[in-house]
Amino acid sequence: MEGNQIFGTTASGEKQLVGFFEKVEPNIEENSAEVISTVQVACGTVRGAIDLAVGISGGLRSLLAAGGKAGAAEEVTTLVRYSGILRRATGGKGNFPIGRATAQEAKELGEAWVGRGFRVSSDGKTLVSADGLRVFRPPAYKPNFGKVQANFEQKLVPGGQPISNGHLDVQ
């Protein structure tokens, strides 16, 4: 880390900028719940980024194994698009749009959102992350909006109210 920048290393060993951070001096006595919430959301975001990176690296391995065959460029385009949708889902607050996808893509994105070790909730459809802080509600028709949407939720505590709810329009 240098200043407010976070660096990583590429496969070829080159230094690469991968993100930024902001140093905040919280007043823990007055804002302990807020500090805990911020840390929990940050941990969930990091976990999601790791799961996404694992998925992308697996996709890139498949791409390299394809040796430039037809469809390889399409796979990279899909991975980049998925990454953008999931990044928007982690960054929003309240209710907000995160993009558009097919029903199959929504399912794949939802599984990436909740990560490894997820469980299916009692409704038999909703996916919940192992720590209970991320929820994927599969595509459903929303009469108030007149369209089909899937939901990508983040929570501060398992079983609590969502602090963010990304809406993915499903075609």
The pLDDT value recorded for residue 102 is 96
Mean pLDDT over the full length of the chain:
79
pLDDT digits (tens, 9 = 90+) for 91-115: 989 999 999 999 999 999 999 999 9
Looking at the 3D structure of the chain, how many domains does it have?
A: 1
The pLDDT value recorded for residue 27 is 53
The single-letter code of the amino acid at 138 is: P
pLDDT digits (tens, 9 = 90+) for 62-90: 555 655 555 667 777 888 899 999 999 99
31-33-35 Cα angle (round to 5): 70
Average pLDDT over residues 4-13: 64
**Measured distance CA(95)–CA(92) in Å, rounded:** 8
Q: What's this model's pTM, rounded to 2 decimal places?
A: 0.63
Range of the structural domain that residue 149 is part of:
5-170
